[in-house]
Amino acid sequence: MDLTGKNLLGEAREYEETAAMKTEHCPRPSFHATPPTGWMNDPNGFSLYRGEYHLFFQYHPYDIHWGPMHWGHLKTEDFITWEMLPAALAPDKSYDYKGCFSGTALESDGKHILMYTGVYEEETEGGKKEIRQVQCIAIGDGINYEKSSANPVIDSSLEEGFSRIDFRDPKIWEKDGVYYSLAANRCEDGSGQLLLYKSEDLKRWEFCSALLKGSTEFGRMWECPDFFELEGKDIIIVSPQDMKAKGLEFHSGNGNMYFTGSFKLPEYTFQRESHGVLDYGLDFYAPQTLKAKDGRRILIGWMQTWDNYMTPDCFTWSGMMTIPRELTLRDGRIYQNPVRELENYRLKEVAYQNIRLQGMTQLEGIEGREIDLTLEFLNSNYDGFRLQFAAGGEEYTELYYEPAKGILTFDRKYSGIRRDVICERQISVKADGLKLRIILDKYSAEVFVNDGEKVMTSLFFTPLEAKDIRFLADGCVSMNIVKYDIAVNGESTYGA
Ligand code: FRU
């Protein structure tokens, strides 16, 4: 029994058990995480606990649109197949009845610790109701989680000028017996900043510093910070809202970016070095990472953003995660590649060596909506090259490369889309040695350029019968092509 006199978590668990079956008209992607039913946004609490990888997520089980936020729960052994677990949190307390917002997790003393944002309303002096965002802890065993009696462990009594309305998405970690938490906050000028706290017992938290400030250079309010070490550097990831476009580097709206640098204790400072964008596609937001058993740093993001809602009305679920990606660092830039575990699911290799393409070509064996396709360009003296995929009749989605301009365009205008959402993104990439690895999984294309130097992730909901792949060369393009089907066998992970 909770605040509402109902058992909200119990109800959600019961609902998702039966609703998860109903996917006849909306088959799930084969190897990307989706919600059992209803709406999914940000990844939450992506963590290793008792040797298994857990992924929680922002979840509204009852509708394919955002609503009162629960935490849904999935588990994976290899980042490719996902097992549904019962919902972990429901908005059932006085400090979180407006939503259990995003957060992170860690393992400590055999327990699974979740840190999340509780949202509630408070009456202000003028009698108006105003949102409050506070940081909370829940402790569990991998299935059931109990909210701490000390909640909210960080309330919204912040310094003058720090927003009490926009204060969320804590990233928790532990170092030398001390817990740290980094939460996103809005400054008086509307820009984002990250507030650092520390604690010895997870109950009492002390403010350390405003570790990093955006000062309107990178959007306004920042969301969903992540913090970790990669090859000797400290990395901070944020998802800034209200970005302004800058060349081909930043696009307007909800963005994503990272800073490399060094975190200093006990000064509680972060010395910035380089920064960059993680994903240049249309559908990527709020990523977070974990350290795998073998030491790899693995990132997963919400494969959607707030500005593009395209889920077909007949779907019983909405929202997907990206394929988890391995991160490496080269010259201050983060490189990302699909987890190597994907290779265990490759079937039916089709390869073409040094093939010369002119005009429109379809190649024997190269088609499909669940594939891993690599194109290695061997020359750069052509005028243009288009790869059309998920093609059938008049519908297709395409990648278009113009070597003279050095611009790669993703375009889903003709994917059969009926909503007025953004359809195009461009990145700059050199023609020499161009290499594209394209991962398709029914409704998504994740394009890894030049071994992970840049990534573009986007969705399209073209009917699944549209499976053709067309090569259109303006001039003569020579390339090596390798394609695999990705086949995930065995028990369906959602009971569908
Ligand atoms: C980011 C975000 C978070 C918030 C959550 C609410 O996508 O806006 O800042 O915690 O979604 O669902």
Instruction: Sheet with 317-318: list strands edge to edge.
Output: 83-89, 70-76, 52-60, 38-49, 317-318
Instruction: Give the type of residue at 291.
Output: K
What pLDDT sits at residue 132? 97
CB atoms within 10 A of CB 431: 18
Indicate whether residue 221 lines ligand 1 (CB < 6 A). Answer: no
Q: What is the pLDDT of residues 317-338, one digit of tens each?
A: 999 999 999 999 999 999 999 9
Residue 42 is among the residues annotated as catalytic for this protein: yes
Q: What is the pLDDT of residues 384-401, one digit of tens each?
A: 999 999 999 999 999 999
Helices (H) and strands (E) in the chain, counts: 1, 31
Residues 493, 142, 290, 272, CA torsion sign: positive
What pLDDT sits at residue 200? 98
Q: What is the pLDDT of residues 92-113, one digit of tens each?
A: 999 999 999 999 999 999 999 9
Residues 315, 324: Cα–Cα separation, whole Å: 24
Indicate whether residue 223 lines ligand 1 (CB < 6 A). Answer: yes
Indicate whether residue 117 lines ligand 1 (CB < 6 A). Answer: yes
Residue with tokens 């408070």: 122
Helix (H, G, I), strand (E, B) or coil at 395: strand
Residues 147, 96: Cα–Cα separation, whole Å: 11
pLDDT band for 489, please (50, 70, 90 cuts).
low
Backbone angles phi, psi at 293, to 5 degrees: -55, -35
Closest-lying ligand 1 atom to the alpha carbon of residue 169:
10
- Quote the ligand 1 centre to 359 CA distance (angstroms): 46
- Quote the ligand 1 centre to 165 CA distance (angstroms): 13
**60 close to 69: Cβ distance less than 8 angstroms:** yes
Helix (H, G, I), strand (E, B) or coil at 206: strand
- Quote the ligand 1 centre to 285 CA distance (angstroms): 10
Residues 447, 329, 228, 261, CA torsion sign: negative
Indicate whether residue 286 lines ligand 1 (CB < 6 A). Answer: yes
Residue with tokens 């779907």: 315
Indicate whether residue 336 lines ligand 1 (CB < 6 A). Answer: no
DSSP 407-456: EEEEE-TTS---S----EEEEE--STT-EEEEEEESSEEEEEETTTTEEE
Q: What is the pLDDT of residues 236-251, one digit of tens each?
A: 999 999 999 999 999 9
pTM: 0.96
pLDDT band for 31, please (50, 70, 90 cuts).
very high
In the predicted structure, residue 477 carries a pLDDT above the cut 80: yes
Closest-lying ligand 1 atom to the alpha carbon of residue 239:
1
- Quote the ligand 1 centre to 58 CA distance (angstroms): 8
Best CA proximity match to 235, nearest among 245, 244, 225: 225
**How large is the average pLDDT for residues 436-465?**
98
